[in-house]
Amino acid sequence: MTTPDSTPPPAATPPSATPPAATDRVPAGPAGTPSFPADTRGLDPAYAGPTVAVASYPDYVSAQRAVDYLSDNKFPVEKTAIVGTDLRLVENVLGRLTTGRAALAGAASGAWFGLFIGLLFGIFSNSAWFAVMLTCILIGAVWGAIFGAIAHAMTGGRRDFASRSSLSASQYAITVEADAADAARQLLTRLNWQTSGAS
């Protein structure tokens, strides 16, 4: 007598989901574009060890100064990290943007590019290299102004201001791997004494 095959069917493999490329939507911070967990899979596993927050600062410059002080005192700064908390995107408005100002900014950018091209042509020119460079600057400025004015006009007045975006945090903590936390804390305490003017 034959019995039906009792082998269970193979389990269905769920389709792999690819996370969106979030780095394309995040502007650069004080030290460049931040990396996300998906971007750190190939790093040294030693970075996954426990860390301790040894100091906290209200701005990035102070945190950077603290890490620089650790480096000056021969501390292994590869064991440290600057961690910003409560991140927020800040867009600083630089001023009103009109078609004339857009054309002026485009002319400046075009003139720099024209200067670069003029220097390249000037290298291979036996004579009148100054005239070649000046001509390239003028052509670059004219085309830059035209493209700047057209680009602003195409916005239809929806963005009549110039701005600069950046990431900021409410505070910046210095974290250190646990085995070096005491040494870092002692050095930063000394830095705080020096900053406050204590002898």
Kindly report which listed range (109-113, 125-129, 189-193) carries the lowest average pLDDT score: 125-129
In whole angstroms, what separates CA 32 from the centre of its chain?
Answer: 2
pLDDT digit string, tens, across residues 11-53:
444 444 444 444 445 555 555 555 544 444 444 444 457 888 9
Confidence of residue 71 (pLDDT cuts 50, 70, 90): very high
Residues 115 and 158 in one domain: yes
Both structure tokens of 82: 């600057």
Q: Identify which of 41, 4, 2, 39 has the alpha carbon closest to the alpha carbon of residue 20.
A: 39
Residues 101 and 73 in one domain: no
Which pTM does this prediction carry?
A: 0.51
Residue 29 within a domain: no
Residues 158 and 173 in one domain: no
Distance between CA atoms of 159 and 18, rounded to whole angstroms?
Answer: 34
Q: Tell me what percent of the residues of the chain surpass a pLDDT of 90.
A: 36
Kindly report the CATH number assigned to the domain that includes residue 174.
3.30.70
Distance between CA atoms of 122 and 124, rounded to whole angstroms?
Answer: 5
Residue 39 within a domain: no
Residue 25 within a domain: no
**Domain limits for position 136:** 97-165
Residue 158 has pLDDT above 90, yes or no: no
Confidence of residue 72 (pLDDT cuts 50, 70, 90): very high
> In this structure, which long-range contacts are made by residues 131-137, counting pairs with CB atoms below 8 Å and at least 24 apart in sequence?
137/111
Residues 123 and 173 in one domain: no
pLDDT digit string, tens, across residues 88-115:
888 888 888 888 888 999 999 999 999 9
Task: State how far the alpha carbon of 72 is from the alpha carbons of 1, 69, 75, 184, 185, in Å.
Answer: 84, 5, 7, 12, 15
Give the model's pLDDT for residue 22.
45
Task: State how far the alpha carbon of 197 is from the alpha carbons of 56, 68, 192, in Å.
Answer: 19, 19, 9
